[in-house]
Structure 1
Amino acid sequence: MTEATLARHSTERISRLRVPDESELTDEVRAFFAESRARQGYVLNYFRAHALNSENLARFNAYLLPFLDPSRGRLPYAERELIATVVSAANRCAYCHLNHVRSLGAAIGDKARAQLIALDYRHVADLSERERALADLATKITEDPRSVGEADFERLRGLGLDDQDILEAIEIAAIFNATNRISIALGVVPDKEFFEKGGSYGD
């Protein structure tokens, strides 16, 4: 991280609440921040804002981050980012929308298609039936979870998902609803790097 970047991070307002100095963080979260900088050159504003309760952030990340790791998970990484993008768009979470549409674009190798999915996946004619079913499930979980029923699961089973896959899809939709609500409530400001090449966590 350059001196200019450090200065910017120390003065800009990125959250409605106080953003902690890194000296206040637990060793685990400081190590995570160092790894983030080594990998992509900066720490996401979301993590910097959430780190005010750094022990809570560490517990939250233990659940969240495996879903963002292309080498882990039951569902293909692109499908996980599809769910994250659809949920973030439905919640109108500017921060997570910008972050995950970039990661989805990188995962599928098509930034324009990722933008179209984020605008409204229902109007993307070339979505596979499996992708559409996952997006529909994510939307139901976000907008009206009581509307999820056995028919949704049978549809997914018919498209090759087993029960563990379906549960992972539910877990991903649920955790990104949580990150959306944290980001929206805190008013987390999107990172400037989101508008540059290689900005998001999954890039």
Structure 2
Amino acid sequence: MMAFFSNLDANSDITDITFNDRPRLGPMDKASQEIMRGKSSFSVAEREIMAAYVSGLNACSFCHGSHKAVAEQLGIKPVIIEQLVEDIESAPIKEELKPIFHYLKKLTVSPSKIVESDVQKVKKAGWSEDALHEAILVGCLFNFYNRLLDGHGVKGNKAIYQFAGEHLSKNGYGVPWFIGLIKNFIKKSKLKKLKELENKGHIN
């Protein structure tokens, strides 16, 4: 599927949007790094599960596929995320995490219906207000990215998801200040890597 904008194509990813609007979207790189890789009550893998879960609820194929791939690189079986999207209670995750995912679901699907009792369920499971704040940040971040990608028509494919999974698991979300100077080099390197992944069978 082709993207909706003339500067995007079937091999585009989130960076093809953010790199072209650094004044407005550049700060999101630092925020993403802090939220997804900074100090947190949740492990990096748990935050990646949250990212893939929220994206699955939104049916954002790019973020769901990419962050499922990141989680897999961190030792999480993709089927766990699919089970979470299907039914939180029967999913094979720690019991204390389930109220967090219920909160993320409500935040994503019907945010105006969140009530005090939802917060209390999270606290009863042993989480602090700081921990809930951290989970909310992940949920908000990926609701934003899901809409950014789907709004531009960027859907990706299995090779791109695998590429993103390998890159984010190794390098995180930070982007150097001089990114504008090396965009063309990055694009060529990405296309070469995508071709390698497709040849290995990671093709859509």
Output the TM-score relative to the length of structure 2.
Answer: 0.70
> Residue 51 and residue 15 in structure 1: after superposition, are their counterparts in 2 closer, same or farther (change >3 A)?
farther
- Which residue does 1:56 correspond to in 2? 24
C-alpha offsets along residues 91-147 of structure 1, whole Å, 9 cap, x if unaligned? 1100001011112233344233234334x2436442222221111111101111111
Conserved 8 A contact 1:142-1:173: yes
Distance 2:165 2:112 in 1: 38
Instruction: Percent identity, please.
Output: 19
Whether 2:5 is the aligned partner of 1:17: answer yes
Extract unaligned runs of 5+ from structure 1.
1-12, 21-42
Query: RMSD of the TM alignment (CA)?
Result: 2.7
The answer as to whether partners of 2:108 and 2:143 remain within 8 angstroms in 1 is yes
Residue type matched to 2:7 in 1? V
Deviations 1:19-40 (A, max 9, x none): 39xxxxxxxxxxxxxxxxxxxx
Distance, in Å, in 1 between the alignment partners of 2:145 and 2:69 is: 17
| Aligned match of 1:166 | 132
8 Å CA contact retained: 1:19, 1:51:
no
Q: Which residue of 2 aligns with 1:104?
A: 71
Q: Contact conserved, 1:66 with 1:73, CA < 8 A, in 2?
A: no
Alignment-derived partner of residue 185 in structure 1: 151
Q: Distance in 2 between matches of 1:122 and 1:84?
A: 15
| Correspondence for 2:99 | 133
Aligned length: 167
Give the aligned partner of residue 156 of structure 1: 122
1:86 corresponds to 2:53: yes
Instruction: Report the TM-score when normalising by structure 1.
Output: 0.70
Residue type of the alignment partner of 2:102: D
Does residue 45 (structure 1) correspond to residue 45 (structure 2)? The answer is no
1:78-101 residue CA offsets vs partner (Å, 9 max, x unmatched): 221222122101111000010111
Counterpart Cα distance in 2 of 1:160 and 1:116? 23
Deviations 1:51-74 (CA, angstroms, capped at 9, x unpaired): 2212222111121222232x5333
In structure 2, runs of 5+ residues without a counterpart are 171-204
TM-superposed deviation, 1:14: 6.4
Residue 77 of structure 1 corresponds to which residue in structure 2? 44
CA offset at residue 16 of structure 1? 2.2
Flag the structure with more relative contact order, 1 or 2, with Cα contacts below 8 A and sequence separation at least 6: 2
